[in-house]
C-alpha cells in the first residue's frame, strides 16, 4: 500500500498561497492564524504557529482515521513533566522549508506493511545510545532503507530541542517519520530528473523564502546547526525546481485589497481606485479606448452593470475587481496544487513503510 497524500491538502508552493477556510475576501477573521515569528518557519507553508498546526493536523488525522484509539492520550495539565516536554518540543524551520514545497499538511495517510522484520526502541523517550536505533523501515521502487531516530528527529528538530532535563530525547512521531520518507522520495525523484542547485540558487531561494541567506542567522533563529540550515535550504530549493518542472513556473500571487476610504463610504471615488482596477485587469483593459478590449472577458463581465472610467472609480468598484482577481488566483492555485499532489502521489504509491511505534 502506498503513501498516498489526500488531494485536498492546502499550503503554499512557489509563492502560491493555497486558500484555507477563513482566508480570502469574505474570510472569517476569527479563523485567520497569524505567524508568531521565532516559533517556527511555518510562514513558508502557511500563516500558522507550530502549536496551531500540530493541533489542526491531529484533529484532521482523527477525522480521517475515524478511530479514537489512534489518538494520543491526554496528559494531566498539572503534570510538570508534560509541561517540560511541551516546552522542549518546539518545531524548527526544517518542517516548514521542506514541507512547504512538498505540500506540508500531512493528514490522511496509509501505513503499508513493507514486509520488514524489526523492532523499534519500544519507548517514547530515548537515551543517548538509542538515537541510532531503527524507528522505521521503508521500501521505494524495490529498494529498502532503515530510518534511525537521529535521522527522523533531525529532519524537523535539533537534538537539543527534544532533549529533556534528564538528558533523554523525545522519540520522533509517526507524522515526522512520514514527512521524512515523503521528502526523501521527492528528493530521489529530483535526483533522477538530474536536478541540482547552485550556491547562487540557494542564496536566492533563502532570501526569497526565508528572508535571509545568512546560515548563522537561520541556525540561531530556528535552533539548528549551520550545516542543518544549509542542508534545509539546499533540499528546499531542489524541491522547488522539481515542482516547477512538473507543475510549471506558476506566477500567481494573492491580490492585495484596496485601501478602505477614511470616511468608510464605499461610494467614495478616486483615480487611485480606477488605477487599482486597471492594474488588476491587466491586458483586458484597452487604455487607448478607455474600455474593455473584449466584452466577454472576466473583468468586463464583472463590471457589465457597473461602469467606471480610467479617471474615477469607487471603493466598491475596486472591491469588485479585488473579488474577481482573488477568484482567478484561487482557481490557479488550486489547479497547481492538484497537479503537484497527483504527481507526488504517483511516487508515494510505489512506497511502503513500517513504523515501529506510533508515537504522537
The SS3 assignment for 170 reads strand
Rounded-to-integer distance, Cα 267 and Cα 173, Å: 54
- The answer for residues whose C-beta is within 8 angstroms of residue 186's C-beta and 6 or more apart is 102, 239, 242, 344, 347
Q: Give me the residues of the chain with pLDDT under 50, please.
A: 1-22, 29-53, 55-75, 77, 80, 82, 85-120
Q: What is the pLDDT of residue 255?
A: 92
The SS3 assignment for 134 reads strand
Q: What is the pLDDT of residue 222?
A: 85
Task: Please report where in the chains the cell 482566508 appears, as a residue.
Answer: 23
Q: What is the pLDDT of residue 341?
A: 92
The torsion defined by the Cα of 101, 1, 180 and 239, in degrees rounded to 10, comes to: -30
Contact present, 95 and 40 (Cβ < 8 Å): yes
DSSP designation for 159: G
Which residue spans within the chain are E strands per DSSP? 12-13, 16-17, 125-126, 134-140, 143-148, 169-170, 269-270, 285-286, 291-292, 313-314, 351-355
Task: Please report where in the chains the cell 506566477 appears, as a residue.
Answer: 251
Amino acid at each position: 500500500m502506498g503513501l498516498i497524500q489526500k488531494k485536498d491538502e492546502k499550503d503554499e508552493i512557489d509563492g502560491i498561497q493555497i486558500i484555507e477556510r477563513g482566508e480570502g475576501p469574505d474570510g472569517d477573521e476569527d479563523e485567520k492564524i497569524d505567524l508568531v515569528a521565532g516559533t517556527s518557519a511555518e510562514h513558508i507553508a502557511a500563516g500558522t504557529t507550530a502549536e496551531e498546526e500540530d493541533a489542526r493536523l491531529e484533529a484532521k488525522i482523527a477525522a480521517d482515521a475515524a478511530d479514537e484509539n489512534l489518538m494520543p492520550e491526554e496528559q494531566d495539565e498539572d503534570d510538570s513533566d508534560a509541561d517540560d516536554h511541551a516546552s522542549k518540543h518546539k518545531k524548527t524551520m526544517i518542517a516548514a522549508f521542506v514541507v512547504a514545497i512538498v505540500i506540508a499538511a500531512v493528514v490522511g495517510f496509509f501505513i503499508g506493511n513493507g514486509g520488514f522484520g524489526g523492532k523499534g526502541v519500544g519507548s517514547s523517550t530515548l537515551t543517548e545510545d538509542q538515537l541510532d536505533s531503527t524507528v522505521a523501515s521503508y521500501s521505494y521502487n524495490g529498494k529498502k532503507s532503515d530510518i534511525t531516530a537521529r535521522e527522523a528527529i533531525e529532519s524537523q528538530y535539533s537534538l537539543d530541542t527534544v532533549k529533556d532535563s534528564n538528558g533523554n530525547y523525545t522519540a520522533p512521531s509517526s507524522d515526522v517519520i512520514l514527512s521524512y520518507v515523503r521528502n526523501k522520495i521527492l528528493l530521489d525523484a529530483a535526483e533522477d530528473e538530474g536536478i541540482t542547485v547552485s550556491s547562487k540558487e540557494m542564496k536566492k531561494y533563502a532570501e526569497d523564502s526565508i528572508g535571509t541567506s545568512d546560515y548563522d542567522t537561520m541556525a540561531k533563529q530556528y535552533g539548528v546547526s549551520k550545516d542543518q540550515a544549509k542542508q534545509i535550504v539546499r533540499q528546499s530549493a531542489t524541491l522547488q525546481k522539481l515542482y516547477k518542472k512538473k507543475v510549471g513556473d506558476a506566477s500567481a500571487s494573492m491580490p492585495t485589497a484596496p485601501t478602505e476610504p477614511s470616511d468608510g463610504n464605499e461610494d467614495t471615488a478616486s483615480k487611485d481606485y480606477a488605477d487599482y482596477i486597471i492594474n488588476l485587469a491587466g491586458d483586458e483593459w484597452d487604455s487607448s479606448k478607455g474600455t474593455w478590449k473584449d466584452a466577454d472577458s472576466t473583468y468586463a463581465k464583472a463590471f457589465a452593470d457597473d461602469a467606471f472610467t480610467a479617471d474615477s472609480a469607487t471603493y466598491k468598484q475596486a472591491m469588485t475587481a479585488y473579488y474577481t482577481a482573488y477568484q482567478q488566483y484561487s482557481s490557479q492555485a488550486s489547479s497547481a496544487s492538484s497537479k503537484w499532489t497527483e504527481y507526488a502521489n504517483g511516487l508515494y504509491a510505489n512506497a511502503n513503510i513500517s513504523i515501529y511505534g506510533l508515537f504522537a
